[in-house]
A and B are shown apart, each in its own frame.
Chain A
Amino acid sequence: MSDTLIKNMTLLSQNTLNGFGGIGEGVSMQVTHDGRRIIWLAHEGAPKNFTGVDVTDPKNTRVVCQTELPHMKMRSNSLEVCGDVLAIAYQVYEKGLEPAGMELFDISKPEEPKSIGFHSTAGPHSRGMHCLWFVDGKTVHCSSGAPNFEPKHPRDDQFYQILDVQNPSKIEEIGRWWIPGAKVGDTEELPPRVNPEEGVDPMGSDAFRLHNVNVYEERPDRAYLGYIDGGVYILDISDKSSPKVISNWNPHNPYPGFSHTALPLFNRELIIVSDECIKDDGADWPKLTWILDARNERNLVPISTLPLPPVEEFGLKGGRFGSHNLHENRPGPSFKSEEILIGAFFNAGIRVYDIKNPYQPQEIAHFVPPKPTNSRVNAIQMNDVYADENGIIYAVDRWSGGLYVLEMDI
Chain B
Amino acid sequence: MSTPPSSILIYGICETPSILWNNYCLDPTVSNVNRQFICLNDELSTLRISSKGWLELKPEQLLQFQSNNDLNLFTKEVLLSRVNAFRRPIKNALLSYFSWVENKCLKISDGELSKDIDPMFAKADQLFFSAYLPLPHPKIVISDQDGKFQGVANFDLSFCISGKVYLITFSDGQFIRKSEREFRETLFKDDDKFIFKDLSKPEQNNGFDIEFINQLINTIPSLGQFPQLEELPHGIYYPEGLNINP
Interface string of A341-377 (1 = CB under 8 A from B): 0000000000000100110100000000000000000
Query: Is A336's CB within 8 Å of the partner chain B?
Result: yes
Q: Which residues of B contact A338 (CB under 8 A)?
A: 174
Secondary structure of the A contact surface, majority rule: loop
Residues of A317-342 at the interface with B, using a CB-CB cut-off of 8 Å, are 335-340
8 Å CB contact of B174 from A269, A337, A360: A337
Segment at the A interface, from B49-57, B86-94, B102-110, B215-223: B86-94
Q: A267 and B89 in contact (CB under 8 A), knowing A336-B174, A336-B175? A: yes
Minimal Cβ-Cβ distance residue in B for A268: B86
Q: Is B119 an interface residue (CB 8 A)?
A: no
Question: Please, how many angstroms separate the alpha-carbon atoms of A267 and B174 in the complex?
Answer: 11
B244 touches A (CB below 8 Å): no
8 Å CB contact of A268 from B87, B173, B178:
B87
**Closest CB-CB distance, B173 to chain A, in whole Å?**
6
Q: Within 8 Å CB of A170, what residues of B? A: none
B window 123-173: CB within 8 A of A: 170, 172-173
**Is B42 in contact with chain A by the CB < 8 A criterion?**
no
* Docked pose: A211 CA to B30 CA in angstroms: 56
CA distance A336 to B176 in the complex (A): 10
Q: Do A295 and B175 contact each other (CB < 8 Å), given the known contacts A267-B201, A357-B15?
A: no
What is the bound-complex CA distance between A357 and B177, given in angstroms?
A: 14
Instruction: Say if the beta carbon of B120 comes within 8 Å of chain A.
Output: no
Interface residue? A409 (CB, 8 A) = yes
- Min distance, Cβ B194 to any Cβ of chain A, angstroms: 22
Binding site for B on A (CB under 8 A): 267-270, 293, 295, 335-340, 354, 357-358, 360, 391, 409-410
28 contacts between A and B (CB under 8 A): A267-B87, A267-B170, A267-B201, A268-B86, A268-B87, A268-B88, A269-B85, A270-B86, A293-B85, A295-B85, A295-B86, A335-B175, A336-B172, A336-B174, A336-B175, A337-B174, A337-B175, A338-B174, A339-B174, A339-B175, A339-B177, A340-B175, A354-B177, A360-B15, A391-B175, A409-B178, A410-B177, A410-B178
